């Protein structure tokens, strides 16, 4: 398990103490783009245990890299992940809910192939080409 991202020293120390003796790599700092791409590319799953957030670049990168997701049921995530069923989310700010979702993945109770099919569609929907075309269309409408 790799836990990556900037955290307070207090939280880092708590994580480090809980991870003693476990196969956990903690990178408690800002992750430069290239390292972030490598971490995501190497990952089997991406967990985004945010308690609140409006949007996440890591989420969009995980989609681009076609990684299965463990994500909180935050409104912005549910909006972005159109097609994900409720059972593919865990309750934000509920560690037990995240734990249960991980267990369900391990038991094969989450349809990861279906999740990846949905992700394929989302990658196309959120592609730079589609965004650029929508922006171009908007500008053309404004000029008319």
Residue 50 has a pLDDT of 86
* Residue numbers of the chain with a pLDDT score lower than 50: none
**What distance in Å separates the CA atoms of residue 123 and residue 126, rounded to the nearest whole number?**
5
Residue 119 has a pLDDT of 95
Residue 135 has a pLDDT of 86
SS3 content of the chain, % helix, strand, coil (to 5): 55, 10, 35
Residue 2 has a pLDDT of 93
Residue 38 has a pLDDT of 95
Query: Distance from CA of residue 44 to its chain's centroid?
Result: 12
Q: Is the dihedral of CA 69, 72, 78, 80 positive or negative?
A: negative
**What distance in Å separates the CA atoms of residue 136 and residue 81, rounded to the nearest whole number?**
24
DSSP element (H, E) containing 25: strand 25-27
Residue 56 has a pLDDT of 76
Residue 55 has a pLDDT of 73
């Amino acid at each position: 398990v790799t836990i990556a991202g900037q955290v307070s020293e207090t939280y880092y120390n708590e994580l480090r103490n809980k991870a003693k003796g476990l196969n956990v790599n903690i990178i408690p700092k800002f992750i430069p783009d290239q390292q972030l791409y490598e971490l995501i590319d190497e990952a089997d799953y991406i967990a985004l245990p945010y308690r609140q957030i409006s949007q996440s670049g890591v989420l969009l990168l995980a989609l681009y890299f076609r990684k299965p997701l463990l994500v909180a049921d935050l409104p912005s995530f549910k909006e972005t992940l159109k097609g994900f069923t409720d059972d593919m989310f865990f309750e934000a700010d509920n560690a037990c809910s995240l734990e249960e979702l991980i267990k369900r993945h391990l038991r094969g109770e989450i349809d990861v192939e279906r999740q990846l099919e949905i992700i394929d569609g989302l990658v196309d929907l959120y592609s730079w080409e589609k965004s650029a075309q929508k922006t171009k269309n908007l500008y053309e409408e404004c000029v008319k």
